[in-house]
Chains A and B, each alone.
Chain A
Amino acid sequence: MTISIVATEEERNGIKFKNLHNEQLVQGTTLVKRGFAHMQKHGVIMDVTTVEQAQIAEDAGAVAVMVLDKLPYDVRKAGGVARTASIKVIEEIMNEITIPLMAKCRIGHISEAKILEVIGVDMIDESEVLTPADEENHIWKWDYTTPFVNGAKNLGEALRRIEEGSSMIRTKGEPGTGNIAEAIRHIKQVNNDIRKLRSFYFDKDDQELIKFSRELKISYPLIKETAKLARLPVVNFAAGGISTPADAALVMNLGCDGVFVGSGIFKAEDPVQRAKSIVLATTYYDDPTIVMEAQKLVDEKKSLLGLDTKSLELRMQERGPMI
């Protein structure tokens, strides 16, 4: 089995049976949901707000687009409450592109998520970029046939989201800043925690493993699976502040399976070139010559200027339920 299926709930409302003549099809299984995320690997998922941007993203080689009402940078500037994107825009984009389409819903907002499922978005991002609707609970994602992606700052958050039914994890980073420092911190945090787990597993120290599972508030089988795999049991992307091809290569070199780019492309002054070059650098991340060629396609004077993450009024990564 090439997909981990540990921590999959038994009574899943998201699973649907469909009969076609003699054949029975099963939809919304863990394999089908996590499998979708596996198909995104080594790819770049781009934030878009219009049909034109979605078309640019597809032509540049995006593996999927994420539809928002405002790019994270503009969410920050506008203030107020950020909600899920307009249905009309999502539908327009759906009719124009062939690659998968994702959209964000507010943390804990079951109805926004159900709406996105009914329209048929391919993956739902329960995202801290939007204003959380529930400060206590995330969505119980086993109730959906559509797969979810969730953000995480550390291993505990990542595994808790997986236990709730998330099919893919991304780092939280600090969206809309053009600053990659927070994403790097989150990637390293997860990597270091997994390193620790792996050493407990190799030493067959079950007592330390179960202690870790209690500290992180995760079930023991999921901790053991993570330790055994020596990586997250689902696909893990980097997100938050990626602006240049070199940024994409950096996060890929740290072991991420792919990247989300938010404001970094369409808030730059050279979006077409930038989108293409980030795709190239993501595939050939470990080949400095090709990453250099990709970096050559962009002009640093045209990059998103960016923000210092230390002096932010709004820290998106801190929003939402603590557990």
Chain B
Amino acid sequence: MSNIKVGVLGIQGDIEENVLATAEALKKLNLRGTVESVRYSESIADLDGLILPGGESTVIGSLLSIQGKVFQTIEKKITEGMPVLGTCAGLIMLSKRTYDKVVGETKQKLFGMLDVVIERNAFGRQHESFEADLEIPVLGKEPFRGIFIRSPIVNNVGESVTILTKLNDKIVAVKQNNIIGTSFHPELSSDRRLHELFIKDIVGFRKD
């Protein structure tokens, strides 16, 4: 198999952290591939998989509305089945609808392909941000250390959405076909199993 090409949307947020996490996951899976930050529609059109990193979803959304072509290319690629991983802000960007815990409905730009409703800043402000062990059955028995930073939660899921894990009854990771979304930041812990799951999706996608 030729090289796998993974991109991390390089608009705002923890881009380099996701690049590093993906490179480590590729190495662990013994796969040949490249991973880099992408900001132009030409380089996105070329990808086998895309990560929407953590950051501020309003910022990423507003820059994507200025760079309309980038937005459309991502939309098209996801519809065609390209695997995509969204962490925190990335999860919000993928969702169908989102509202803020304090402020309420927000008019931010979303891709809207993931059939979920998101509550932003659901655990509260930064001093309430936390780490916790999560049980994620698809990743095996070993708990996954979740880093939650002003995290959103998934409030409502459509029929085609699989819940990957909950924390205290709140949904914090989901999968819908080629889309994986997490409330927490798998790129910030040292566990690479979630990025590996995403890469396995890419391998499967390329076989089809």
Contacts and interface: CB of A to CB of B under 8 A. Distances in A.
Contacts, number: 144
Interface residues of B, number: 48
Interface stretch (B52-60, B76-84, B173-181, B197-205): B52-60
Contacts of A123: 126
A27 B131 CA distance: 7
Interface in B4-33: 10-17, 20-21
Interface residues of A, number: 49
Interface in A17-40: 18, 20-21, 23-29, 31-32, 35-36, 38-40
Given A2-B187, A25-B130, A35-B185, A41 B149 contact: no
Contacts of B11: 42, 283
Nearest to A147: B126
A23 B134 CA distance: 9
Residue of B58, B62, B129, B168 with most partner-chain A CB within 10 A: B129
A113 B29 CA distance: 46
A39 B13 contact: yes
A220 interface: no
Contact of A31 (B12, B62, B189): B189
A117 B127 contact: yes
Contacts of A97: 103
Interface stretch (A56-64, A71-79, A191-199): A56-64
B97 interface: no
A98 interface: yes
Interface of B: 10-17, 20-21, 39, 54-56, 58-59, 62-63, 66, 88-89, 100, 102-103, 106, 120-121, 124-133, 147-150, 167-168, 185, 187-190
| Closest CB pairs A-B (n = 4) | A122-B126, A2-B17, A25-B130, A61-B62
